[in-house]
Structure 1
Amino acid sequence: MPKSQVRKKKVYTPPSDISPAVKGASNKPSPLWLPVTAVSLIVIGIAWLVVYYLSSQQWPVESWRYWNLAVGFGCMVASLGLLSRWR
């Protein structure tokens, strides 16, 4: 039985008129304030929720009632938004 021939693959060369990176996008690292702010928001959000539960819902702001949960979780969601932009 005869052997089949091995096909030679051509080496891929990308087109020269298209850049692999998106033009205008910067490849710079993130500024220092971004991770610092994100971690701070996480800590503040967790601390807000812990204080709220441990104080039997009297602190940090008693008149806000369950909106204290929104503040705590809002801080953590905002930190996720910042961390999504971290390079």
Structure 2
Amino acid sequence: MPKSQVRKKKVYTPPTDVRPAVAAASKKPSPVWVPFSAVFLIVFGIAWLVVYYLSEQQYPVEAWRFWNLAIGFGCMVASLGILSRWR
């Protein structure tokens, strides 16, 4: 039985004239403050929640009641938003 021919695929080369500025901008490293601020927000959010629960919901701000949870989790979610921009 004869063997079928093997087709050679062309190697894809992306066009260089389409949006060259975007390719150059995407390789730019992130500023130094990005990972530091993300780590700070994570630690701050966790510390806020730990203080809130260990103080039996009297601290950091007793009048805010359950908004203390929103602040703690909001800081952690904000750090995820910052880390999504880290390169």
User: If the TM-score is normalised by the length of the shorter chain, which range does it land in?
Assistant: 0.7 to 0.9
TM norm structure 1: 0.82
Point out the structure with the larger helix share: 2
The answer for the alignment partner of 1:63 in structure 2 is: 63
Q: How many residues align?
A: 87
Cα displacement (A) at 1:28: 1.4
Cα displacement (A) at 1:6: 3.2
The answer for the alignment partner of 2:86 in structure 1 is: 86
CA-atom RMSD, angstroms? 2.2
Alignment pair present for 1:38 and 2:22: no
> Which AA in structure 2 matches 1:83?
L
Contiguous gaps of at least 5 residues in structure 1: none
**In 1, distance between residues paired with 2:5 and 2:52?**
74
Q: Of the two, which has the highest radius of gyration?
A: 1
Contiguous gaps of at least 5 residues in structure 2: none
**In 2, distance between residues paired with 1:14 and 1:48?**
49
Quickly say closer, same or farther: Cα 1:55–1:18, change in 2 above 3 A. same
**In 2, distance between residues paired with 1:16 and 1:26?**
15
Cα displacement (A) at 1:27: 1.6
The structure 1 segments of at least 4 consecutive aligned residues displaced by more than 2 Å after TM superposition are: 1-26
The answer for the alignment partner of 1:48 in structure 2 is: 48
